[in-house]
Amino acid sequence: MPMHSFQSPRKWVSWLWLFSMSALLAQGAENGEKSIPRILIIGDSISIGYTQPLKELFKGEAEVHHNPGNAQHSGHGLAHLEAWLGDASWDVIHFNHGLHDLKYVDAQGKNTRSKEDGHIQIPLESYGENLEKIAKRLKQTGAHLIFATTTPFPDRPSGPLREAQETQRYNQVARDIMQRHGIPINDLHALALPKLTDWQQPHNVHFTKEGSLELAKEVARHIRKALSIQP
């Protein structure tokens, strides 16, 4: 009997084994590559307040991360942006600066309630310049970007001096920049303004637990829209 007649079954088994292994490896690679979306929240204490309920809203659907600590003002954000982005790949970046930009500080950079002894931390023109640079850098990540407007507060709340009318001026500069870059805007200012009595702590810029949850719901809605995820 020709030798090849004995080799054929062996070749058939070998090819079958190779095919099976290839299929298993392909399936393993596919499973390894499959991952849920990764979301980065950049912002101040207001965003810190709504990040935990946001994590709960996206439990099992997406990973929600917040930049370490408080993102503070736009100058601080610009200086730390590379560290916050890291080497990770982000699907959505939801970001905001403004509340710390428009507060008053003294010559040493410490919070103050005195207009005579202090100044707005980041002047409006510098705020715009910083946001312009931040927007350009974030666009390079390829992530879906969402900018959140600065939330409202009662005039001259507790803590460092802040004047309520400044939020509109800073938000308008931010809107113009984001629209120019084609970055969607999550208008948390408009959302919260008529609800401050129910959602915000008295004489404060911060929100109650219930208020933070409502902000988280709106942030989640915008993120789902960016990712085309149905609630």
The string of pLDDT tens digits covering residues 109-149 is 999 999 999 999 999 999 999 999 999 999 999 999 999 99
Between CA 44 and CA 117 the distance in angstroms is 25
pLDDT interval class at 22 (50, 70, 90) = very low
- Region of 203 (left: φ > 0; alpha: ψ -120 to 50; beta: rest) is left
Residue listed under structure tokens 């399936």: 27
- Token match 């929600």: residue? 64
Point out which residues pair with 40 in neighbouring strands.
Answer: 65, 93
Sheet of 144-148: strands edge to edge?
63-66, 38-42, 92-95, 144-148, 185-186
What average pLDDT does this structure show over 68-74? 98
Which CATH code is given to the segment(s) 36-227?
3.40.50.1110
